[in-house]
Structure 1
């Protein structure tokens, strides 16, 4: 009984080329990851109590910069890609619902950090707890990007028509 060929439709083992729009979304991940790594490194220093004020201040700056890049990336996915895929697989459960939930969770943690983090106004313990919000967002987004790159984007590549892929590219260029 040959079963392996059945799996190729569900994510398979073959990683093909991504169309320009999907490749563009994927190409936004490395610079975001680099910023996330820098933030995570600062959170570890804060957790260890190293140069607390200086590192906390730097973390606030880095999180604001990161959010400025993450927001348009998320909008391109949530506003364009997810609805296009949702027309085929739905949005209330399954992969799209999971992706949107993870976006919400990460943005919520980043937002809570920025709302509560005020330079010079927090105790050491408060700074550590606030830095933990950024760490949690880091873990969520690291896993999330991997899912998009290894499952969601290849799924979209197979699912969307050439016309839809062209439409995707045009719409994400506008955001």
Structure 2
């Protein structure tokens, strides 16, 4: 993460790219716990503690993620859609991934609410899979946006739209 530079030239796209880097930084913390569960690194007491920590990290992750995806859905996708079409193709599939990510995180949080202190290590490991799936989808999602949508936006957008988009996106997600 340290030393990563932004690849895109348009200020509006750089904002989104920078947010991806920040979200990826946050994801690394909770993904490390997911990997430890997958690799059977925890005894019961430590598993319970890390399971609760994973839940807390995901709860803290939701707000910046939501703020980021809302900016994309409210401003970036509709504007890019005016250039490349909206109802099919890359924008539609990217938006569907936003819903898939929400579903995985929501499913994890839903199943961690009741009786967390009574879960076996195996049950925790099973529930943690949702967080692992969210990480996988998010990682691929960011790559798709950065290799397909962002370059496309830089190619097709007119300066007036670039400036307007920058004004709309220039807000913090935390």
- TM-score where L is the length of structure 1: 0.85
1:102-121 equivalences in 2 (<5 Å): 102-118=97-113, 119-121=116-118
**Does structure 1 residue 150 correspond to structure 2 residue 147?**
yes
Cα distance per residue 1:78-136 (max 9 Å; x no partner): 11100111112222210101110111111110111112213314333321121100100
8 Å CA contact retained: 2:86, 2:92:
yes
1:50-65 equivalences in 2 (<5 Å): 50=42, 51-65=46-60
Task: Call closer, same or farther: CA 1:121–1:173 in 2, change over 3 Å.
Answer: farther
1:1-175 equivalences in 2 (<5 Å): 17-47=8-38, 48=40, 50=42, 51-118=46-113, 119-173=116-170
Give the paired residue count. 160
* Cα distance in 2 for residues equivalent to 1:17 and 1:91: 22
SS for the counterpart of 1:93 is coil
RMSD of aligned Cα (Å): 1.6
- TM-score where L is the length of structure 2: 0.85
* Cα distance in 2 for residues equivalent to 1:158 and 1:82: 15
8 Å CA contact retained: 1:46, 1:55:
no
Cα distance per residue 1:42-97 (max 9 Å; x no partner): 01222315121011011001101111110100011111100111112222210101
Moved over 4 A (4+): none
8 Å CA contact retained: 1:18, 1:153:
no
SS for the counterpart of 1:92 is coil
Unaligned stretches of 5+ in structure 1? 1-15
* Cα distance in 1 for residues equivalent to 2:88 and 2:10: 25
